[in-house]
């Protein structure tokens, strides 16, 4: 039985990953920011731990509890926990940017480093970062999230080089639009941290609000969360996991355009997408 630690399991991709892997016989340790979000998973027999990625004490506590539940062996870490902070870059305060990075980057990597040390002791392991198409290209009014995913991509690419020969494999999963609570959570962060009345971008924010609150998929080619889990299963089960896994047509498209288009031409395409 492989032991799999998954962050961000309250809803969406993390919840879907926890339930599917549990059904397939893996021992899943699912983390949630608040234990009140864990009731459905616990009813299925899945072990849930409270974990706030912005809090070092919470990270260390959850990691140690995970080891107890997993007989001191974590075979797979799926770094899924993250959120998106919308807003024009010039409207993002230092504290707001810090909050985005505390969860999406600093906390994620702090947990990963703890797991790597354990994997070195046991002689094997697989780590998958749930990145984004926005770790490949940037869209306007998503600057904090773009930057956090670019940072994760850089850390993962570096770790892959540093862990050569260790039998610890690093993979990036890069989804485009996926059915989840991501937009609802992002809208809450927008309301909390952005004052559009004082912004040069207030007219654009009106359109962004409509997109974030739109019912149903807000973008073409949106896939269900299990499309990401399919890639995670390959990370876990393949003899040779891939370095990158694209999910959804937009990821394939933009990764290709970034390779073949001149920078200004790509900017033109991305500006049209950002305005939609």
Contact yes or no for 74/125 (Cβ under 8 A): yes
Is 26 part of the annotated catalytic residue set? no
Catalytic residue among 145, 150, 190, 245: 145
What is the C-alpha end-to-end distance of the chain, expressed in Å? 46
d(CA 148, CA 152): 6
CB-based contacts of 213, cutoff 8 Å, min separation 6: 183, 187
How much helix, strand and coil, in percent to the nearest 5, is found in the chain? 55, 15, 30
CB-based contacts of 88, cutoff 8 Å, min separation 6: 140, 141, 143, 199, 200, 201, 204
Strands 244-247 and 125-130, by their bridges, are unpaired
d(CA 215, CA 42): 29
Q: CB atoms < 10 A from the CB of 29, how many?
A: 27
Positions marked catalytic? 145
């Amino acid at each position: 039985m492989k032991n799999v630690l998954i962050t961000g399991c309250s809803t969406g991709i993390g919840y879907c990953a926890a339930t599917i892997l549990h059904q397939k016989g893996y021992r899943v340790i699912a983390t949630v920011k608040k234990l009140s979000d864990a009731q459905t998973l616990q009813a299925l027999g899945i072990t849930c731990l409270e974990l706030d990625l912005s809090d070092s004490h919470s990270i260390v506590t959850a990691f140690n509890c995970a080891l107890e539940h997993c007989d001191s062996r974590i075979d797979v870490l799926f770094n899924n926990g993250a959120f998106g902070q919308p807003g024009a870059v010039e409207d993002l305060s230092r504290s707001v940017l810090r909050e985005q990075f505390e969860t999406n980057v600093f906390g994620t990597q702090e947990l990963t480093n703890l797991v790597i040390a354990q994997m070195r002791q046991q002689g094997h392991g697989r780590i998958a970062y749930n990145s984004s198409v926005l770790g490949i290209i940037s869209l306007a009014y998503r600057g904090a999230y773009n930057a956090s995913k670019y940072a994760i991509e850089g850390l993962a690419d570096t770790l892959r080089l540093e862990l050569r020969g260790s039998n610890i494999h690093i993979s990036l999963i890069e989804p485009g639009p996926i059915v989840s609570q991501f937009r609802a959570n992002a809208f809450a962060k927008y309301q909390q941290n952005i004052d559009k009345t004082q912004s040069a971008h207030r007219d654009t924010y009106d359109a962004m609000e409509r997109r974030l609150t739109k019912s149903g998929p807000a973008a073409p080619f949106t896939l269900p969360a299990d499309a990401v889990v399919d890639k995670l299963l390959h990370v876990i089960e393949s003899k040779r996991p891939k370095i990158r896994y694209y999910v959804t047509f937009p990821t394939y498209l933009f990764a290709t355009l970034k390779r073949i288009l001149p920078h200004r031409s790509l900017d033109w395409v991305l500006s049209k997408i950002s305005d939609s």
